[in-house]
Amino acid sequence: MCGLDFFCMATKSAFFILLLETVVKIQALKGFKDIVPGEVELWQYLEKVAREIFECFNFSEIRLPILEETELFARSIGEATDIVEKEMYTFVDKKITMRPEATASLLRAYIEHGMYVQKPVQRLFTIGPMFRHERPQKGRLRQFHQMDVEVLGSENPRVDAELMAMGAMLLGELGISVSLEVNSLGCPECRPGYRTQLISYITERLDALCGDCKRRSSTNPLRVLDCKVPTCREQMLSAPALQDHLCAPCADHFEKVQAGLKQLNVVYSLNKFMVRGLDYYCRTTFEFITSDLGAQAAVGAGGRYDGLVETLGGPKNSPGIGFAMGMERLVLLLQQQEKDYGTAEAVDLFIAGIGEHGSHGGFALAHALRAEKYKIAMDHEGRSLKSQMKQAHKACARFVLIIGDAELASGKGVLRNMATEQQQEVLLAVADIAALIPFLKNSTY
């Protein structure tokens, strides 16, 4: 090798090492989280329990797109809300937004498919990711998941009570203890009068309020009521309450909602400061609150939005009510219970093929058993029997089938029951998987 060749090689390897060292790991975005095996079982459990309960209350699932026209959220959630003003992931040039919540999309679909014609009252639920550009912290993410339920087409206060009872039942089934806080936000008849009174109360105290509240005092004065800043809270303690300014139909509705809750033995308290961060609400609003998650106390929330379908281009007089549960928060609470939700890894049979021939024999057998719906694991890397037994333990395999040259020659493999440690010979031919199935079905022999 000449000196120049050597120089070129050395330079190349130095460059290669440099390249290896400078390859930067790509990580998930801040506020976006992977749900990995080991954790995903808890999510599956949560969904299963929710689906069972939604079914008992006669809800049907609807699956919705993640991207919608920005206008849909601006018109429903409200231009002056934090969500629309600051938190939406919007492709400005295309005027489309990744949904920050599910209600607007669900109503868009309800109107688009003329669902109000098919059934006078539609009960729908959807489960999936939502996107809000908030400051991430425990229980608050930028991509988070909601289980969202909506009842469209009924104004009956019993529906409000029934929905809250369903939320309480779901949380009870999950062993999560919460308090249910309820309020009424009135309607376009009674709210303007109250709003005027509230603005004059706020104006008298404007200097003592935080910057956000000063701004909101004219754009969205009701939001001043639920500001979390202690000085603002103090100032608002004796603010007029909407509950005391409801028009007769709203007062009657609210009374009947409470009677329904009592009839169903749902424990609740009234919270005159709850206004919710979305503008579409009227009359009943509610939140399920936990004391076990620090600042992110609401595990679920919702309310009535009687004018919203019409605002989005649907038929007149189409009332609606719904709520959404935050799945990350529910998962955090379930994790605190330290229960075992099973692992996805427990397999019926681990096939340990020894050497190329053993692996080759096990390959087709695994496929035939999987076609019979058995959960089979197998190593394709030609590892030692010891290493494969370790993998079988990790996978919580009920059985291990050992196939080496001797077993192939005799046409019989060694089946080991991992619980009893008993071993037994079984026929290996794919055509004879019937010989294995009784063992897999019933682990005693």
Comparing C-alpha atoms, which of 351, 353, 338 is closest to residue 405?
353
Single-letter residue type at 342 = G
The number of residues that bind ligand HAM (CB under 6 A) is 26
CB of 144 to ligand HAM, least distance (A): 3
Work out whether 54 is an interface residue with ligand HAM (CB under 6 A). Answer: no
Of 46-54, 245-253, 325-333, 385-393, the window that binds ligand HAM (rule: CB under 6 A) is 325-333
Work out whether 141 is an interface residue with ligand HAM (CB under 6 A). Answer: yes
Rounded CA-CA distance 224/231 in Å is 12
249 contacts: CB under 8 Å, gap ≥ 6: 187, 189
3-state secondary structure of 362: helix
Residue 79 Cα to chain centre, angstroms: 26
* Residue among 150 and 379 whose Cβ is closer to ligand HAM: 150
Q: Six-digit token pair at 378?
A: 């197998």
Of 10-18, 188-196, 320-328, 341-349, the window that binds ligand HAM (rule: CB under 6 A) is 320-328
Work out whether 322 is an interface residue with ligand HAM (CB under 6 A). Answer: yes
3-state secondary structure of 381: coil
Q: Out of 103, 217, 220, 243, point to the residue binding ligand HAM (CB under 6 A).
A: 103
Q: Out of 47, 134, 212, 226, point to the residue binding ligand HAM (CB under 6 A).
A: 134
C-beta of residue 146 within 8 angstroms of C-beta of residue 102: yes
The residues in 113-132 that bind ligand HAM, with binding defined as CB under 6 A, are: 132
Q: Listing from the earlier edge strand, what are the strands of the sheet with 269-270?
A: 60-61, 122-131, 143-152, 320-326, 298-304, 282-289, 179-184, 269-270
Comparing C-alpha atoms, which of 312, 302, 301, 305 is closest to residue 282?
305
* Residue among 59 and 323 whose Cβ is closer to ligand HAM: 323
Q: Out of 76, 81, 105, 146, point to the residue binding ligand HAM (CB under 6 A).
A: 146
CB of 303 to ligand HAM, least distance (A): 6
Rounded CA-CA distance 232/237 in Å is 9
Q: Out of 68, 162, 328, 379, point to the residue binding ligand HAM (CB under 6 A).
A: 328
Q: Out of 82, 101, 160, 379, point to the residue binding ligand HAM (CB under 6 A).
A: 101
The contact mask relative to ligand HAM for 148-177 (x = CB under 6 A, - = no) is x-x---------------------------
Rounded CA-CA distance 268/258 in Å is 9
Residue least distant from ligand HAM (Cβ): 326
Single-letter residue type at 180 = L
Residue 204 Cα to chain centre, angstroms: 42
CB of 294 to ligand HAM, least distance (A): 13
3-state secondary structure of 157: helix
CB of 388 to ligand HAM, least distance (A): 42
Query: Tokens 């608050």 map to which residue?
Result: 140
* Residue among 46 and 369 whose Cβ is closer to ligand HAM: 46
Query: Tokens 């669900």 map to which residue?
Result: 106
Of 141-149, 183-191, 360-368, 413-421, the window that binds ligand HAM (rule: CB under 6 A) is 141-149
Work out whether 329 is an interface residue with ligand HAM (CB under 6 A). Answer: yes
Comparing C-alpha atoms, which of 186, 183, 185, 180 is closest to residue 166?
180
* Residue among 150 and 306 whose Cβ is closer to ligand HAM: 150
Work out whether 299 is an interface residue with ligand HAM (CB under 6 A). Answer: yes
* Residue among 328 and 348 whose Cβ is closer to ligand HAM: 328
DSSP state of 84: I
Work out whether 183 is an interface residue with ligand HAM (CB under 6 A). Answer: no
Work out whether 326 is an interface residue with ligand HAM (CB under 6 A). Answer: yes
The dihedral of CA 148, 149, 153, 154: what is its sign? negative
Q: Out of 153, 167, 260, 302, point to the residue binding ligand HAM (CB under 6 A).
A: 302
Rg of the chain over all Cα atoms, to the nearest angstrom: 30
The contact mask relative to ligand HAM for 274-293 (x = CB under 6 A, - = no) is ---xx---------------
In terms of Cβ atoms closer than 10 Å to its own Cβ (0-12, 13-18, 19+), residue 179 is: middle
Contacts with ligand HAM by CB under 6 A lie at 101-103, 132, 134, 139-141, 144, 146, 148, 150, 277-278, 298-303, 322-324, 326, 328-329
